[in-house]
Amino acid sequence: MSVESPGRYVGGEKNQIIKEDVLKELRERGECTAVRTAFCFPDVYEIGMSNLALQILYKLLNSEDYTSCERVFSPWHDMDRKMRENDIPLYSLETKSPLYEFDVVAFTLGYEMAFANVLQMLELGKIPLKSCDRKETDPIIVCGGPVAYNIEPMSDFFDAVFMGEGEELDLEFIQEIKKYKDGGKKDRQAMLREVAKIEGMYVPSLYEPEYSPEGKFIALHPIDDTVPSKITKRIIKDLDSVLYPTAPVVPNNNIVHDRAYLELFRGCIRGCRFCQAGYITRPVREKSADTLLAQGKEIEHNTGYDELGMLSLSTSDYTELAKLTDGLLCAFDGRHTSLSLPSLRIDNFALDLMEKASSTRKTGLTFAPEAGTQRLRDVINKGINEENILSALRLAFMGGWSTVKLYFMLGLPTETMDDVRGIAELAKKIEDLYYDVAREMGVKPRRPEITVSTSMFIPKPFTAFQWEKQNTMEEFLEKQACLRECLKKVRSVRYIWHGVETSVWEGILARGDRRLNDVILDGYKAGSLFDAWDDNFNYERWMGILASHGLSWEMYARGYECGDVLPWDHISVGVSRNFFLKERERAYREEITPNCREKCSACGANCFKTGVCYETR
Amino acid sequence: MRQDDRAAEMTRQQHLTQYVCRARFARKGALSFIGHLDLMKVFERAIRRAELPILYTQGYNPRPMLVFALPLGVGIDTTGDYVDAAMAVPVNAEEFMAKVNPELPQDLEVLSCISIDEPKRSLMSVVTYAEYEIEAPGITEPALRLFARDEILMEKKNKKGKIVSTDIRPLMVKPFEDSTADKVHVLVSAGSVSNLRPDIFIRAVCIHEGYDPDKASEAVITRTALFGGEYPDIEGIEGLV
C-alpha cells in the first residue's frame, strides 16, 4: 500500500502511552473496564500533533486507572481512498483499534473548516453520523475547543459538547460514562440527561430551535425544565497546580510546529473587539515563572527538542517574562536549545531577548496592526498606534533587522477606502524609515523586505462584533484590488492575501444555526474534505448546497439586530452580552477600552473568581 | 547528509578531537515508514534525551554531529545499518548503548557499538556494497533471471531532469544461495560512488522479467548488511575507520 507520508498512520513515537493493563484485558476478553477515549483531530497528523490541547488531554485521559486515551487523525485523500477500497475502518495509532470500539470519541475543534473531516472520521470509523441514529453501544461523540462555543451548525452530529477547559471538565464526564459502562450501557438517553447535569456540558439533542416564517432564527428551547437553559463554560482556577504534559509525544516524522511548548497563561488582557480567542478565554490566568521553569527543563529533557516555544495570546503581557526567559536561557546554556517567542511586542527588551534567545540568525519581525489608520485601530481597540510601531521598528532597523511582516484585516466594521489606503501609507512610512535609519547610521542600506498580509474580517460569536454584517465578496475583492494598486508604489513590499471565498464560507459557519447541519452533511457527501487546505476548498459547491436547502449567504452574513436572539445565546463564556453591546457602541464612537491590568471594565468574567480580576492593581 | 560531511570537515579543521561511537542499528515497523531526514532527527533527539556529550556542528543552525552510513528509503527495514555519533569526550560503547536504547522509540534499536578515537575516514565514504532481502510472492525466479542478463537498461531522470538510460547490471553483484521462492537475497553496489536502490532493482524485475507490479508494491525490503572494500574483498563497516 503506497500512500504519501506513511509515518503519519503508524504511531510508535517516543512518549506514546499504551496502557498495558487495558491492552491485556482487551486481548483476553475483547473488552475492558476502563473508559476508552479516542481523541480525534479532524486534520492530518502533522497538524494535529502540533496541537497543545491534544497533548494535554491525552496525558490527562491516561492519568487515571479508569480511563485510557488513544489518538486518531484524519486520513489524507489517498489513505481515505485506500481505506474505503479495502474496507479498513479508521483506527487509533496506539492499539490500532477501530473507532467504533471506543466508549468515547472526542474531537477538538479549532477551526470551522474542519467540519467535513469530523464526518469523514465518523464514517470511516463506522459510527452513525447523526446522534439520533446511534444505539446504546455506539461510542459517545463529543467535542470541545474554541469552535465548540457555537456548535449549532454541527449539533446533529455530537452527543455532548464541552464548554470550557478540558482539564476542568473531562474527568467528570468520563466518570459519568464509567457509570454507564459499568451498568452495561442500557439507556443512552438517560445517560445523556445525566451528562447534561454536569456544569459546562451541553447536550444539543435536549434543545429545539424555533424559526420565524421568514426563516429567521428566533430561539433555542430546552425540551423540558430539567434541562439547563444556560450553559456556562468551566475553567481552571489555578494553572500552576493543573496537570501539564512534560513528556509529550515526540513525533517521528516532521510536523508543522516541531517543538516543545510552555503555556505561559490563558486569556488576554487586551480586549481587541474582533478577537474571539481573547474573549472566550477570559479571565487572564498566569502560571508562575517557577512552575514554568521547572516544566521547561523537564520538557527539554524528556523530548530532546532543541526548541521550546512560549505559548499565549500575547507573550509580552506575561508579568514574569524576564525572569522566565533568563532562567531558561541559563538552564539551556551549552545545550543548543533555543526559545521561540511568538507574539512579542517589539521594544528594547524584546529585541535584546530575541537576540539572546534564538541561536539562529535574525528572523523577521512580525507586527499585527490589523488596520491601516489610527481611527480604525481605535474602532477595534487594538492598543497600538503608529508611533509605537515606528519607534519599535526604528530600534529594530538600528539593530540590523530588515525583514518585517505586517498583518491586517480587510472588512472591519466602519472601514472606508481611506482605511484600506492607510495600509499602503503605513507600509510606505516603514520603508522610508528603513532608509532614514540607514542614512543616519551611515551604512549602505540593503533593500528591506516588507510583507503586507491581509485576511478578511469574519464576525465571530462571543465578540463585540458578533452582530456585525460581513463584507460581501465584491466588497472584499474591491478592497483587495485597491490595496494591491496602492502597494505597487511601495517598492520593498510584497503583498500576500488570503482567499476571499474561504472567509465568506467560514463566516457563514461561524455564526450558523442548526439548519447548516444538513448542508454540511450534503457537502461532505458531495466530496468536500480538508476545506482548511485552500486547494481542496470548493466554494461553488458549498454555496450551491446552501442554496438547495433554501438558505443563503445573506441570512448569515447580513448581521444581527441588537435585540435578536443569537444561535449561541444559551452558552455563556462569562463575558456578558451587555458588555459586548457596550464595547460595540464604544467601537462606533472610536473609543478605546483600557486593558484588564489598567482598569477593570466589568466584562463579567470575574464570575469565575480567579485570575487578573483578583490581582491587586 | 552533505551538510554532515561539511560539518565533520569543519570540526577537523578546528582540530577538535572527535570520539566517535559507531552504532549498528535495526529498524522495523513504525520506524520504517519515515524518511532519512526524519530518522536523523529521531536519533538526534534520542541522543539529546540520553544527555550524552555529543558534539554539535558549527554555524547558524548547530545540529548534533551524526553521520549515517547510507540513507534508508521510506518503507525499508534494516537489521544492519550504521551511524557515527561524534562525542566531545570518550564514551565507551556499553555506556552509549545503555543510555541511547531506552530513549529510542519502539521499533528502533542499537544492536552493537564500537568506540573509535579520531576516525580518519567519514563513515559515508567507506560504504561500497549493501545486502538486501526482498520478500514478495514468487519474486526470486524472475530476479535470478535478471541476474543472468548482460545488460539491464533502466531509464531515470538525471540532475537536469532529462531522462537517460543507464545500465544497472554492473551494480548488481550477486544473489545469495539462501534465497527462497518468495524471498530473494542480493548483494548490490551502494554508497556515494555507485548505488543501486532496492526499489529500482524491483522495478527492473518488473520491466525486464514481467514481474507483477502489484505484487512488487507489496514487497517487504530489508537491508541486512553494509560493506566496504572492493568485491570480492569486501569487509564489515566496523573495521573501516
In a domain, residue A142? The reply is yes
In a domain, residue A535? The reply is no
pLDDT for residue B239: 81
Q: Which domain holds residue A356?
A: 252-360+571-617
pLDDT for residue A525: 98
pLDDT for residue A616: 73
Q: Which percentage of chain A shows pLDDT scores above 70?
A: 99
In a domain, residue A454? The reply is no
A429 min Cα distance to partner chain B (Å) = 32
* Contacts B48 to A, Cβ<8 Å: 304-306, 335
Q: Does A361 touch chain B (CB under 8 A)?
A: yes
In a domain, residue A80? The reply is yes
Residue A346, amino acid: I
Q: For chain B, which ranges sit under pLDDT 70?
A: 1-16
Q: Which percentage of chain A shows pLDDT scores above 90?
A: 89
CB contact under 8 A, A14 and B46: yes
In a domain, residue A527? The reply is no
Suggest the residue from B51, B61, B72 to mutate for an interface test with chain A (most A CBs closer than 10 A): B61
In a domain, residue A445? The reply is no
pLDDT for residue B60: 75
Place of cell 467504533: A100
CA A454 – CA A497 distance, rounded (Å): 5
* Domains held by chain A: number: 2
Distance of CA A94 to the CA centre of its chain: 25
In a domain, residue A191? The reply is yes
CA A31 – CA A33 distance, rounded (Å): 7
User: Nearest Cβ partner of B45 from A1, A9, A304?
Assistant: A304
Shared domain for A197 and A337, answered yes or no, is no
Residues 6+ apart with CB under 8 A from A485: none
User: Nearest Cβ partner of B60 from A14, A303, A361?
Assistant: A361
In a domain, residue A11? The reply is yes
* Contacts B74 to A, Cβ<8 Å: 6-7
Cα torsion angle, A456, A458, A459, A463, sign: negative
CATH number at residue A224: 3.40.50.280
CATH number at residue A305: 3.30.750.210
What is the chain A residue with the closest CA to B105?
A14
CB contact under 8 A, A10 and B60: no
Measured torsion, CA atoms of residues A28, A29, A34, A35, in degrees rounded to the nearest 10: 130
H runs (alpha helix) in A317-401: 321-331, 348-357, 374-379, 386-398
C-beta of residue A315 within 8 angstroms of C-beta of residue A342: yes
Would you call A252 helix, strand, or coil by DSSP?
Answer: coil
* Contacts B72 to A, Cβ<8 Å: none
Shared domain for A157 and A49, answered yes or no, is yes
Looking at this predicted complex, what is its ipTM? 0.91
Cα torsion angle, A160, A165, A166, A172, sign: negative
Shared domain for A216 and A274, answered yes or no, is no
Domain B2-123 belongs in CATH node 3.30.70.580: yes
Q: For chain A, which ranges sit under pLDDT 70?
A: 1, 358-363, 617
C-beta of residue A525 within 8 angstroms of C-beta of residue A554: no
Strand extents, DSSP E, A99-176: 104-108, 140-144, 160-162
A238-257 pLDDT, tens digit each: 999 999 999 999 999 999 99
pLDDT for residue B120: 84
CB contact under 8 A, B49 and A303: yes
Give, as one character, the DSSP assignment of residue A127: -
CA A237 – CA A244 distance, rounded (Å): 14
CA atoms within 13 A on the CB side of B236: 10
Would you call B222 helix, strand, or coil by DSSP?
Answer: strand
In chain B, what are the domain boundaries?
2-123, 127-236
Q: How far is CA A510 from CA A210, A274, A566, A567, in A?
A: 19, 13, 12, 10
How many CB pairs below 8 Å do chains A and B form together?
A: 74
What is the chain A residue with the closest CA to B27?
A12
pLDDT for residue B2: 45
